[in-house]
């Protein structure tokens, strides 16, 4: 099972090979003028380049590189011949790469192939969407979105609480008013908080999640005709595009799920997973169904983010952000021993050892961190299904077979989402 990537780095005139775990750091040592790095990265990722003179924990960011393609180059032109620097790279924003989940094998599971994002939609991802949609309210990228003065988003100017897409303040709180928002609204723009850029977005309703899916389908050039959901100025307008509102309102049966997921007209569109797709991707290891979404049947604090897990971001009493949480970054659980300065938490342990929680499909956080919206109705209700457990819920909520539900306008601090697509160009 693959759990790391090999990156090739060119240092001066010598080429070295190194293992770089996703979202982690690697040290490279050398003495050169104009130290040049070259590595095979992930297109769309943003890498922080850091230096230290003595490996005493004094890492300083000296530059950043955006991977426009699969090969990334960066040079420390300020490095002199007397310098003796140690360097490391860290992926601080990861692309939403899609991973194949092959059909068949799992009893009663999906018979068709589909693709699921490796990571949860991040604050950086969602802020980009909000800003672009706000500038394009006159076309399909931003229609059916009304931006309130404080940054909250609704379907129209009535600001009806049952037609909410995103809450940037006063989340459905259960008294949790101290949860740090990962996105702030300032001077008419949405900005991902620097220390939360790669944390999963929260405060997104089911409506907001499917609007993001429609926007992403257009934004990535898959075409507006490939959108998987209909939308409009009222809640009844939002449903899978292959169904009428009346068909959708009576639930989502197996036949309707299959017809929608395999619809040739929308096979490249982004959408939310169905319950069956999520269970397959979270549990099936090719032979059996595992208890947790990281491919194992046991759970410890090094495996995932959940209530009282003991992870360094964990806080069980308000303010929930006292250690920099409550969410953990995408790609935090990678089998790497993080230092506090690099991991980004505020207090507590100086180091924290993680276990890899990507599963057999190379998908992360299928158990823990935030609950994830599903497309499906919850059985017998008007609520929508959500799965995966979260930082706020107990360890039993992380079981791959457990499903919970909330109304589609709910914007809780422990619900996020990821995208899937039936096919991937």
What average pLDDT does the structure give for the chain? 84
Same domain, 154 and 213: yes
* Residue 133, domain CATH: 3.90.1580
Average pLDDT rounded to a whole number, residues 345-355: 86
Residue 370 lies in a domain: yes
Mean pLDDT, residues 252-259: 94
Tokens of 279: 């269970």
Tell me: do 115 and 220 sit in the same domain.
yes
**How far apart are alpha carbons 191 and 78 in whole angstroms?**
31
Sequence-ordered alpha helix ranges (H) in 236-337 = 245-249, 254-261, 275-283
Are both 44 and 114 inside the same structural domain? Answer: no
Residue pair 3/356 in contact (Cβ under 8 Å)? The answer is yes
pLDDT on residue 189: 97
β-strand pairing of 371-377 with 415-416: parallel
Does position 34 have pLDDT exceeding 70, yes or no? no
Q: What is the DSSP string of 19-54?
A: EE-TT-EEEEEE--SSEEEEEE--TT-EEEEEEESS
- The mean pLDDT value for 1-20 works out to 38
Q: Are residues 107 and 57 in the same domain?
A: no
pLDDT at 171: 58
The C-alpha atoms of residue 156 and residue 162 are separated, in whole angstroms, by: 11
- 209 with 75, same domain: the answer is no
> How confident is the model over 156-164, as a mean pLDDT?
95
Residue 314 within any structural domain of the chain? no
Q: Are residues 168 and 263 in the same domain?
A: yes
User: What integer pLDDT is reported at residue 81 of this predicted model?
Assistant: 52
User: Is the same domain home to 371 and 282?
Assistant: yes
Residue 95 is predicted with a pLDDT of: 66
d(CA 360, CA 267): 24
pLDDT at 101: 98
45-79 tens-digit pLDDT:
667 777 777 766 667 777 777 776 667 777 777 76
For residue 28, the domain's CATH number is: 2.60.40
Single out the residue in 64, 93, 122 at which a domain terminates.
93
Q: Is 361 exposed, middle or buried (0-12, 13-18, 19+ CB in 10 A)?
A: buried
In contact, 255 and 274? CB cutoff 8 Å: no
Q: Does residue 347 sit within a domain?
A: no
- Between CA 214 and CA 233 the distance in angstroms is 15
**pLDDT surpasses 90 at 379:** no
If one counts every other C-beta atom within 10 angstroms of the C-beta of residue 188, the result is 10
Residue 317 in any domain: the answer is: no
Same domain? For 397 and 272 the reply is yes
The model's pTM is 0.83
Write the pLDDT tens digit of every residue in 285-312. 999 999 999 999 999 999 999 988 889 8
Whether the per-residue pLDDT at 32 is higher than 50: the answer is no
Are 177 and 243 in the same domain? yes
127 confidence band (pLDDT: 50, 70, 90) = very high
Which of 23-37, 112-126, 345-359 is predicted least confidently? 23-37
Per-residue pLDDT at 325 exceeds 70: yes
- Out of 14-28, 167-181, 338-352, pick the least confident: 14-28
Domain boundary among 33, 64, 93: 93
| 56-65, 90-99, 167-176, 260-269: least confident range | 167-176
Tell me what the mean pLDDT of segment 221-245 comes to: 96
Q: For 400-422, write each residue's pLDDT tens digit.
A: 999 999 999 999 889 999 999 99
Of 36, 46, 47, 42, nearest to 4 by C-alpha is 42
pLDDT of residue 71: 72
State whether residue 323 is helix, strand or coil. Answer: coil
Considering the domain architecture, whether residues 89 and 123 belong to the same structural domain is answered as no
Task: Name the DSSP letter for residue 226.
Answer: G
39 and 62 together in one domain: yes
Three-state secondary structure call for residue 132 = helix
Query: Which tokens in the block code for residue 345?
Result: 């938490």
Q: How far is Cα 212 from Cα 181, in angstroms, rounded to an integer? A: 18
Give domain status of residue 86, yes or no: yes
Angle between helices 206-219 and 123-135 (to 10 degrees): 70
- Pick the closest to residue 301 from 202, 387, 398 (CA basis): 398
Residue at a domain's end among 93, 123, 146: 93
Q: What is the CA radius of gyration of the chain?
A: 22
* Tokens linked to 412: 């809780």
The answer to whether residue 231 is domain-embedded is yes
Please answer whether residues 136 and 107 qualify as being in contact, where contact means their C-beta atoms are separated by less than 8 angstroms: no
| Residue-wise pLDDT tens digits, 79-93 | 665 566 777 776 655
Q: Are residues 396 and 261 in the same domain?
A: yes
Q: Which tokens is 349 given? A: 């342990």
| Residue 226 domain flag | yes
Indicate the pLDDT class of residue 180, thresholds 50, 70 and 90.
Answer: low
pLDDT recorded at residue 241 = 97
pLDDT at site 4: 35
Instruction: Please report whether residue 322 resides in a domain.
Output: no
Give the 3-state secondary structure of residue 366: coil
Domain of residue 234 covers: 98-289+365-421
Categorize the per-residue pLDDT at 7 as very low, low, confident or very high, splitting at 50, 70 and 90.
very low
Q: How many domains does the chain have?
A: 2
């Amino acid at each position: 099972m693959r759990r790391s990537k090999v990156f090739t780095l060119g240092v001066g005139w010598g080429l070295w090979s190194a293992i770089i775990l996703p979202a982690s750091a690697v040290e490279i040592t050398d003495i050169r003028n104009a130290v040049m790095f070259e590595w095979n990265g992930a297109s769309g990722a943003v890498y922080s380049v850091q230096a230290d003179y003595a490996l005493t924990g004094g890492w300083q960011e000296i530059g950043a590189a955006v991977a426009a393609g699969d090969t990334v180059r960066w040079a420390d032109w300020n490095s002199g011949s007397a310098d003796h620097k140690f360097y490391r790279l860290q992926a601080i924003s990861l692309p939403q790469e899609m991973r194949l989940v092959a059909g068949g094998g799992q009893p009663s599971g999906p018979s068709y192939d589909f693709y699921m994002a490796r990571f949860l939609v991040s604050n950086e991802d969602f802020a980009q969407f909000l800003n672009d949609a706000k500038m394009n309210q006159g076309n399909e990228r931003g229609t059916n979105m009304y931006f309130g003065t404080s940054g909250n988003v609704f379907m129209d100017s009535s600001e009806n609480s049952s037609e909410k897409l995103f809450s940037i303040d006063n989340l459905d709180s259960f008294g949790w008013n101290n949860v740090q928002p990962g996105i702030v609204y300032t001077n008419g723009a949405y900005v991902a908080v620097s220390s939360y850029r790669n944390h999963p977005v929260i405060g997104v309703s089911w409506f907001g999640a499917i609007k993001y899916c429609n926007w992403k389908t257009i934004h990535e050039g898959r075409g507006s005709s490939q959108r998987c959901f209909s939308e409009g100025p009222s809640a009844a307008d939002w449903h899978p595009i292959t169904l009428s509102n009346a068909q959708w309102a009576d639930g989502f049966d197996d036949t309707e799920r299959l017809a929608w997921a395999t619809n040739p007209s929308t096979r490249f569109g982004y959408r939310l997973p169905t319950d069956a797709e999520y269970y397959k991707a979270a549990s099936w290891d090719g032979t059996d169904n595992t208890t947790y979404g990281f491919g194992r049947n046991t759970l410890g604090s090094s495996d995932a983010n959940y209530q009282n897990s003991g992870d360094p971001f964990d806080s069980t009493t308000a303010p929930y952000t006292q250690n920099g949480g409550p969410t953990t970054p995408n790609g935090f659980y990678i089998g790497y021993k993080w230092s506090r300065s690099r991991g980004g938490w505020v207090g507590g342990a100086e180091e924290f050892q993680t276990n890899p929680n990507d599963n057999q499909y190379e998908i992360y956080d299928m158990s823990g961190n935030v609950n994830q919206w599903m497309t499906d109705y919850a059985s017998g209700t008007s609520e929508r299904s959500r799965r995966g457990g979260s930082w706020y819920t107990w360890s039993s909520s992380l079981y791959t077979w457990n499903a919970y539900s909330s109304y589609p306008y709910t914007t809780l601090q422990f619900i996020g989402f990821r995208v899937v697509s039936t096919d991937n160009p």
